[in-house]
Structure 1
Amino acid sequence: MRRLAIYDMDKTITQRATWIPFLIHAAKTRAPWRLALLPLAGLASVAYLGKAIDRARLKEITHRLMIGRAIPPAELMAVAETFADDMAATNMFADARARVEADRAAGWEPVLATASHGYYAEAIAARLHIGTVIATAARRDADGNVLAGLEGENCYGPAKLRLIEAWMAREGLARGDIRVRFYSDHVSDAPVLEWADEPFAVNAHGPLRKLAAVRGWTVLDWEG
């Protein structure tokens, strides 16, 4: 039986969220003048908190402000690589690294499943030698340039489970033929935690900690 150890990324593997730090890093690297647009990105975040826009739209707006309308993939990859180096050096839980390696040694195949954009999540995953990444995807134009819009669903909440299942279908994996561990810090991942054979609430915020107590899920607190 194939065994998958699936990890959320932000605040599960990384100590802090990564989207805004990535946008700031991209602006500093490519066009420092865009840092002056940070207040507008902040207003978009306020609109999200006020439920005027959803997470997908928030990503599109902030990407457009801080990165631009379109970016060649090689240029974006270079930005992602330097950002991933910084995240590996300053923003990863040591216990997360150890758990990935322990799972791998025990025969579990590590997979990253994150709402973060795949264009930098893949670079972060590579620092953990994780080859499979299920993430939010960006649209591309006819020349392959990465655009601000999303391609498909934002990999968050119930959509994360749908995207995991879509990946499984592409891989020819039936649910009954695999065993799944899933690690997450946030209650938005409850659909995947319910679906997993071995759910782990990691560094859980209050709502997830309460749900884990009700469901009997293992609670882990990782240190840096």
Structure 2
Amino acid sequence: MFDLDHTLLPIDSDHAWGEFTQVLGWTDPVRFKQRNDEFYEHYKAGTLDVHDYVRFATEALRQRSPHEAQAAHRQFMQSVIEPAIRPAALDLVRGHQQAGDLTVIVTATNEFVTRPIADAFGVEELIAVELERGADGWITGEILGVPSLREGKITRVARWLVERGLDWHGVETVFYSDSMNDLPLLERVDHPVATNAEARLRAIATQRGWRILDLFTHT
């Protein structure tokens, strides 16, 4: 299992998508940037209200058609995400796949932003924040079910296992993450790997003897 932002990617895809909507002219360049940055600081501090954030982050999308939104995301992939996908991250994912491991991206970023990114990594299984859809089939700004953030990642992974007739005791689990927000899931798996870890997580990993991996040191 892999976290996405700052783990497989050296950027935060959610925050970057918000900045990209400014480039498109979808959002106010001053007000949106201020709020986007504020939410990002809350995420790093572990104090993010994910429901408020998703309402904010999807507001511009909800004012566009699905076709227009998807076209914009293709531009986002080409100009922002694809240049940020590093060989070391691809090699890590492919190494597990070649070993016969089932690979899963488990991210607190929503599925609209992350599904194409998971595809770019060749990872079919994605556990992301699911977005509620209205009668018209388009997103409402609300979250469907349990958001995959902090302890919610454990809940979502457990559900994912059950759906496949598995449980925690019947599989050997590895999880790569950079973030203190992911400490609950790191503590739950068999093999936690602090990856490009922030200082607090790196200190915990060092103290507990966890593996520490730096993918982007030389990039």
- TM tier relative to shorter chain: 0.7 to 0.9
Q: Which amino acid aligns with 2:70?
A: M
- Using the alignment, how far apart are the partners of 1:52 and 1:9 within structure 2? 19
Whether the aligned pair in 2 keeps the contact of 1:111 and 1:130 (CA below 8 Å) is yes
How much does 1:219 deviate?
A: 0.1
Residues paired across the two proteins, number: 214
* 1:134 pairs with 2:121: no
Which secondary structure state, in structure 1, belongs to the residue aligned with residue 156 of structure 2? helix
* 1:118 pairs with 2:104: no
- Using the alignment, how far apart are the partners of 2:28 and 2:81 within structure 1? 27
CA shift digits 1:77-131 (9 cap, x unpaired): 3333332333443212321111011111111111100011111211001011100
Q: Which amino acid aligns with 1:119?
A: F
The residue that corresponds to 2:20 in the other structure is 25
* Percent identity over paired residues: 23
- Using the alignment, how far apart are the partners of 2:61 and 2:69 within structure 1? 11
The residue that corresponds to 1:3 in the other structure is none
How much does 1:138 deviate?
A: 1.3
Aligned with residue 199 of structure 2, among 191, 203, 206: 206
Cα–Cα, structure 1 residues 173 and 73, in superposed 2: closer, same or farther, change >3 Å?
Answer: farther
Structure 2: any 5+ residue segments left out of the alignment? Answer: none
Aligned with residue 34 of structure 2, among 5, 29, 42: 42
The residue that corresponds to 1:191 in the other structure is 184
Whether the aligned pair in 1 keeps the contact of 2:193 and 2:212 (CA below 8 Å) is yes
Equivalent residue runs for 1:59-138 within 5 Å: 59-64=54-59, 67-138=60-131
Cα–Cα, structure 1 residues 46 and 26, in superposed 2: closer, same or farther, change >3 Å?
Answer: closer
Name the structure with the higher strand share. Answer: 1
How much does 1:36 deviate?
A: 2.2
Structure 1: any 5+ residue segments left out of the alignment? Answer: 1-5
Q: What TM-score do the two structures reach when normalised by structure 1?
A: 0.85
User: RCO higher in 1 or 2 (8 Å CA, sep ≥ 6)?
Assistant: 1
How much does 1:185 deviate?
A: 0.3
Which secondary structure state, in structure 2, belongs to the residue aligned with residue 192 of structure 1? helix
User: What RMSD in Å do the two structures reach over aligned CA positions?
Assistant: 2.4
Cα–Cα, structure 1 residues 199 and 99, in superposed 2: closer, same or farther, change >3 Å?
Answer: same
Which secondary structure state, in structure 2, belongs to the residue aligned with residue 133 of structure 1? strand
- Using the alignment, how far apart are the partners of 2:14 and 2:170 within structure 1? 35
The residue that corresponds to 1:215 in the other structure is 208
The residue that corresponds to 1:152 in the other structure is 145
Which secondary structure state, in structure 2, belongs to the residue aligned with residue 193 of structure 1? helix
How much does 1:71 deviate?
A: 4.3
Whether the aligned pair in 1 keeps the contact of 2:14 and 2:113 (CA below 8 Å) is no
The residue that corresponds to 2:170 in the other structure is 177
* 1:12 pairs with 2:7: yes
Whether the aligned pair in 1 keeps the contact of 2:22 and 2:28 (CA below 8 Å) is no
Q: Which amino acid aligns with 1:13?
A: L
Whether the aligned pair in 2 keeps the contact of 1:23 and 1:63 (CA below 8 Å) is no
Whether the aligned pair in 1 keeps the contact of 2:146 and 2:155 (CA below 8 Å) is no
